[in-house]
Structure 1
Amino acid sequence: MKLYAMIFLSLFLGKSCTSQTKNDLKTAILEYTANTRGFYQKITIQNQMVAVSKDRSGTEKAVETKISDADWKELISYFETINLDSLATLKAPSEKRFHDGAAIATLEVIHKDKKYKTTSFDHGYPPEAIQKLVTKINSFAKKE
């Protein structure tokens, strides 16, 4: 009987630990910002809502839209694969932003009261580790 109890507890505790290691998008805020001298775009995702702002000063209200269930599930799957602690160390695959060849972009994630932010990268050319997530985030701005 003790053996069955040990096996059950091992499986139960093991399952609960693995589920805690996944990133939970429901409690996170994603902010993608891209800007140059003549272009500004900020996409904020929180609680299955996306807000897109093209106003650098913040005086105009962002356009908010509900994210469809299919898009939300896709976004969750991409978010769960990201190692938040490594965001700050990701290398940009190109350097067009250094000579105005591309807008300067960053991704900031606020998860469990902690901020994680990437170094700058070219808008449209994110680091490979976050490419699918960033592409999906940008797709919400194009629907507008």
Structure 2
Amino acid sequence: MRIVSILLLTVFIAGGCCSQKKIDMKSTQIEYSAMSRGYYKSIVVEDKTVSVIKERNAEAVKSNIDDAKWNQIVSAFSKVNLESLSTLKAPTDKRTYDSAAIGNLKITKDGKTYETPGFDNGFPPKEIEKLVNLLVDFSKE
């Protein structure tokens, strides 16, 4: 009886650990943009690839995303509530008097687009801060 109990407990524990669902990112596009009169940046992440544009009218620089970085993006994305993106409040207001570029996060998943209101580049709302910072890292490389 003791052996059966241990086996059942092991199965339940293993099943609980494995039941964490992976998020399907095949049909998801994440775009971060920041712009002002003299500044432009666009970063688009889709299916383990990233396209970065650092100047207006410039060609996009495309590259593949390594598995470690991709897993970080998926993890940060899984914590974002897509339905509440349009209601996020910016923590600072520098963009209103040209002291910061206007940042924007747009996510397209399964054909539906979710977008934040403008916020100061470098100061995203806390709810999306980790994801935005991971995307901005691509423009520093």
What does 1:1-144 align with in structure 2 at a 5 Å threshold?
A: 19=21, 23-57=23-57, 60-143=58-141
| Aligned partners of 1:25 and 1:79 also within 8 Å | no
TM-score when scaled to structure 1?
0.80
Instruction: Give the root-mean-square deviation of aligned CA atoms.
Output: 1.8
| Aligned partners of 1:24 and 1:80 also within 8 Å | no
Q: Deviations over 1:39-71 (max 9, x none)?
A: 0000000111110012334xx320011111100
Segments of 4+ in structure 1 off by > 6 A?
A: none
| Aligned partners of 1:44 and 1:52 also within 8 Å | yes
* Structure in which a larger fraction of residues adopt helix: 1
Using the aligned pairs only, state the percent identity: 43
**Count of aligned pairs:** 124
TM-score when scaled to structure 2?
0.82
The answer for unaligned runs of 5 or more in structure 2 is: 1-17
Larger Rg: 2
By how many angstroms is 1:23 displaced? 5.0
The answer for unaligned runs of 5 or more in structure 1 is: 1-14
